[in-house]
Copies of this chain bind each other. A is one copy, B any other.
Amino acid sequence: MTWCPIKIISTGMMKEVNRVEMAIQESLSGQSCALISGGDPGIYAMAGLVFEICQKKGIPLFRPVSSKNLTTVPTGQRPARSLDTENGLTLEIVPGIPALAAGAALAGAPLTHDFAAISLSDLLTKWETIEKRITCAAMADFVIVIYNPRSRKRTWQLERARELILAHRDKATPVAVVTGAMRENQEIVFTRLDQLHTAAIGMQTVLFIGSSATAIYMDFIFTPRGYTDKYTVMTGMASLQAGNPDQEAT
């Protein structure tokens, strides 16, 4: 084995544009470069910014040669794929476990049915757009996953979101407040919709606000898909019999 020296480039928090530009520059100079995100790089994270910057700068992007079975509808907007990446970047996005999946696993199973993910950060998005999304998600009875609920500077948005959701959903709706999921400092707090603003919430917190179907059992929350309404589950622990499970349920 050969020891590979690794160069680590880091920027402070909140320097996302700088950090991504530096990663792109490093790759263009001929180095392999990994841009690291917590969770999944494509869910509220840096993968999108790579595309934003490359598009603005006109940097061609290619998939690794190992990418198989890529079919695209011809639009005339894309160059032919090429192995010659001297004038562009070869980009591979490696998926991970997003905070919504890690947090859900700790809370129980809130996301086994339809859900919406909404960031409350209005630094890059107009608040009116965020309000509309919250209201529509509440009306449609989605389980709602809230990213970026509060920060030092953004203090009132979660309280406003709570009001908007309460207009369409029961005040006792179960809520899981998960901070630092799967990390040393992980913490789960269960509460209800009308009290969610009182929970301790930080930058690593993701909230899960139940739909009308979301239930509490023991110290877990879950959203049933309705199997046990459709199929008979025998009560009594010893039973293995189910009513009529011979149907597709997906």
Contacts and interface: CB of A to CB of B under 8 A. Distances in A.
Interface of A: 13-18, 21-22, 25, 28, 40-45, 47-63, 68-73, 75, 77-79, 81, 91, 93-98, 101-102, 104-106, 108-119, 121, 123-125, 129-130, 132-133, 135-137, 139-142, 148, 151, 153, 182, 185-192, 195, 203, 215-220, 222-231, 233-240, 242-243, 245-250
A71 B188 contact: yes
A77 B242 contact: no
A14 B248 contact: yes
A28 to B, nearest CB: 6
B48 A249 contact: no
Assembly of this chain: how many copies?
A: 2
A65 B98 CA distance: 25
A115 B116 contact: yes
A48 B223 contact: yes
A203 to B, nearest CB: 7
A218 to B, nearest CB: 4
